[in-house]
Amino acid sequence: MGDYVVVINAKDVALTGKKSTQKEYMWHSGYPGGQTVLKFDKFIERHPTEPLKKAVWGMMPKGNLRKEQIHRLKLFAGSDHPYASNIVKSYIPEPVVAVKTETVADNSALQASLPPPVKIKFGKRAKK
């Protein structure tokens, strides 16, 4: 099925623009008058990991395995979690170094090794 993904500091997620005050999360309990609507700011105070979980849920393929795969996503509001001893590899992006490449002044040897281009002619439709 795959590995587990552990995400820490989920409460520190940041949104751009006015999304933190305009984005709404809505759910319904099933009872009359049971609709609840919360803005992002209030929602993340109540449930610090849910906005990120809902975002990942919405981006996953809409298939039968989605529910099983989302159970392998472990979200934690802070940096403390019980999976510290199980983590084999953590994601730390490596710095990108620009490398200057040499330009080929004469590409005639390259062109000679390529096959000649294929010419396709499209004719007009035959009249009936």
Instruction: Look at 85 and 52; give whichever has higher pLDDT.
Output: 52
E-strand spans in 29-66? Answer: 35-39
Size (the chain), residues:
128
DSSP tag of 48: T
Residue 44 CB: number of other CB atoms within 10 A?
A: 22
Cross-strand partners of 44: none
Instruction: Give residue-wise pLDDT tens across range 11-70.
Output: 999 899 999 899 999 999 999 999 999 999 999 999 999 999 999 999 999 999 999 999
Task: Please give the class, per CATH, of domain 5-79.
Answer: alpha beta
How many percent of the chain have pLDDT more than 70?
83
